[in-house]
Amino acid sequence: MTAEPAQKDLSKTAYDHLWMHFTRMSSYENSPVPTIVKGEGTYVWDDKGRKYLDGLAGLFVVQAGHGREELAEAAAKQAKELAFFPVWSYAHPKAVELAERLANYAPGDLNKVFFSTGGGEAVETAWKLAKQYFKLTGKPTKYKVISRAVAYHGTPQGALSITGLPGLKAPFEPLVPGTHKAPNTNIYRAPSFLTAPDGTVDPEAYGRWAADEVEQAILFEGPETVAAVFVEPVQNAGGCFPPPPGYFQRLREICDRHDVLLVSDEVICAFGRLGTMFGADKFGYQPDMITCAKGMTSGYSPIGATIISDRLAEPFYKGDNTFLHGYTFGGHPVSSAVALANLDIFEREGLNQHVLDNESAFLGTLNKLRDLPIVGDVRGNGYFYGIELVKDKVTKESFNDEEVERVLYGFLSKALFDNGLYCRADDRGDPVIQLAPPLISDQSTFDEIEQILRTSLTDAWAKI
């Protein structure tokens, strides 16, 4: 009998050759790189055969769940028919169909779709388009962007410039000039002048304040210099900050008052993450552009898009004007075909409605964790939640750098994974756990997440 050939140790080869993103590589010098080899539904398996609940849908991506054969088949069929052709002055059917479909889903007059290969490129596209739009319409001094503290908008240097995480930017300074930060909507840490003596905050007053701070930023820079405001419907970095009531409506008015474009960065929030095709629909506002990517194909192939209003597109569609921008793989035929098949799944299985029907059950299940001393806040929307960890629930005191390093990264991240939950423990802002499982998740998923978090957070608390 011949023995099975020994499996190559992928984990060792990963350390030797695969430069992992945002990864402290030295942490794998003497410990194996976790290597995921298979996915099915809401679960993934590693190369040792261990099963994990995918509590982050990969990276806010795998909306329809893992192992969907029809998405793999859509990719194979398209690759056989037309593997590649660019959308530079030529069209191909799948990009056309997908652009039309996105335009139909998108709110108001967002009818023009410019494809890229991911979210950061979609953000770059939006900023560049805003700049060129104002040059074409006689306002060449409008080029700056206001974005929000702690927000992540991607790694290309433009997107990084509007990112509100100084630690991520420092190694690459100087970045693109013309950016300014306004506060985000972290109501858990509202300023003291908006907090009543009993600790409560009026969400509407808070929302007015947070929106007015964006206006202050526009006025500080000078409205004649500001092109756009970039905001996520629910801000991810910092741990899921939903908008207070009325926030986006006020922001829309502010942008209109100063002729500033409102860009909804929906790289995470689009495609059902909040139970609607676009996050703007969930909160009832009309952006001038939407940037999206991740969930469009449920991750079966990469693609991104910037969806642009007719009003903004108009000058580009005249005379010899050209939007001087493009990506070789933007609107890739295979990715476009996969996106269409993915959107068919959304329609057929009612994924958005499923999220709307179950979001309060998910939040209710996570809220049970509030009895733990380490859980300061549970917040989010749809299938998108953050759990803020604190040292003192009453004072909301957070962890110091040593505790973050030792407990959050040194213990909790690994404990969650070892206990069978892939999610993210993060301290961009204050320490949080981030959860965004596939949209097919149901009560059994929520219960499993709650149980693993309860065990892991109880153990983490004992280590402080």
Closest CA to 273 of 152, 355, 154, 379: 355
Per CB under 6 A, 386 contacts ligand PLP: no
Quick one: which segment of 98-106, 262-270, 349-357, 412-420 binds ligand PLP (CB under 6 A)? 262-270
| Residue 59: CB minimum distance to ligand PLP, A | 7
Count of beta carbons in the 10 Å neighbourhood of residue 30: 7
Quick one: which segment of 115-123, 189-197, 317-325, 365-373 binds ligand PLP (CB under 6 A)? 115-123
Q: In whole angstroms, what is the distance from residue 337 CA to residue 258 CA?
A: 40
Closest CA to 65 of 337, 236, 300, 393: 300
Could you say which of 58, 118, 242, 299 contacts ligand PLP (CB under 6 A)?
118
Q: In whole angstroms, what is the distance from residue 357 CA to residue 6 CA?
A: 48
Q: In whole angstroms, what is the distance from residue 215 CA to residue 212 CA?
A: 5
Whether the upstream peptide bond of residue 174 has omega within 30° of 0, thus cis, is yes
User: Shortest Cβ contact with ligand PLP: which residue?
Assistant: 119
| Residue 21: CB minimum distance to ligand PLP, A | 9
H or E stretch including 231?
strand 226-231
DSSP assignments along 25-92, one per residue? GGGGSSSPPP-EEEEEBTEEEETTS-EEEETTHHHHT-TT-B--HHHHHHHHHHHHH------SS---
Nearer to ligand PLP, 156 or 275 (CB): 156
Nearer to ligand PLP, 46 or 232 (CB): 232
| Residue 138: CB minimum distance to ligand PLP, A | 30
Furthest CA-CA distance within the chain: 79
Could you say which of 15, 152, 300, 422 contacts ligand PLP (CB under 6 A)?
152
Quick one: which segment of 102-110, 138-146, 261-269, 455-463 binds ligand PLP (CB under 6 A)? 261-269
- The answer to whether 226 and 257 have CB atoms below 8 angstroms apart is no
Quick one: which segment of 85-93, 105-113, 130-138, 148-156 binds ligand PLP (CB under 6 A)? 148-156
293: helix, coil or strand? coil
Could you say which of 58, 119, 239, 244 contacts ligand PLP (CB under 6 A)?
119
Quick one: which segment of 7-15, 43-51, 117-125, 197-205 binds ligand PLP (CB under 6 A)? 117-125
Rg, C-alpha atoms of the chain: 22
Could you say which of 153, 282, 332, 379 contacts ligand PLP (CB under 6 A)?
153
Could you say which of 55, 107, 120, 438 contacts ligand PLP (CB under 6 A)?
120
Per CB under 6 A, 123 contacts ligand PLP: yes
Q: In whole angstroms, what is the distance from residue 328 CA to residue 405 CA?
A: 40
Nearer to ligand PLP, 436 or 457 (CB): 436
The binding track of 231-260 with respect to ligand PLP, each residue x by CB under 6 A or -, is -x---x------------------------
Size of the chain in residues: 464
Whether the upstream peptide bond of residue 302 has omega within 30° of 0, thus cis, is no
| Residue 354: CB minimum distance to ligand PLP, A | 23
Quick one: which segment of 8-16, 146-154, 178-186, 281-289 binds ligand PLP (CB under 6 A)? 146-154
- The answer to whether 163 and 151 have CB atoms below 8 angstroms apart is yes
Going by their DSSP bridges, the two strands 36-40 and 43-46 should be labelled as antiparallel
Per CB under 6 A, 362 contacts ligand PLP: no
- The answer to whether 221 and 146 have CB atoms below 8 angstroms apart is yes
Per CB under 6 A, 268 contacts ligand PLP: yes
- Packing angle, helices 203-221 and 247-257, rounded to 10: 20
| Residue 150: CB minimum distance to ligand PLP, A | 12
Going by their DSSP bridges, the two strands 226-231 and 144-148 should be labelled as parallel
Q: In whole angstroms, what is the distance from residue 135 CA to residue 320 CA?
A: 14
- The answer to whether 116 and 294 have CB atoms below 8 angstroms apart is no
Closest CA to 151 of 239, 62, 55: 239
Quick one: which segment of 85-93, 100-108, 116-124, 215-223 binds ligand PLP (CB under 6 A)? 116-124
| Residue 241: CB minimum distance to ligand PLP, A | 12
Nearer to ligand PLP, 118 or 331 (CB): 118
| Residue 197: CB minimum distance to ligand PLP, A | 36
The binding track of 279-308 with respect to ligand PLP, each residue x by CB under 6 A or -, is --------------x---------------
Per CB under 6 A, 154 contacts ligand PLP: yes
| Residue 156: CB minimum distance to ligand PLP, A | 7
Residues near ligand PLP (CB under 6 A) are 118-120, 123, 152-154, 232, 236, 265, 267-268, 293
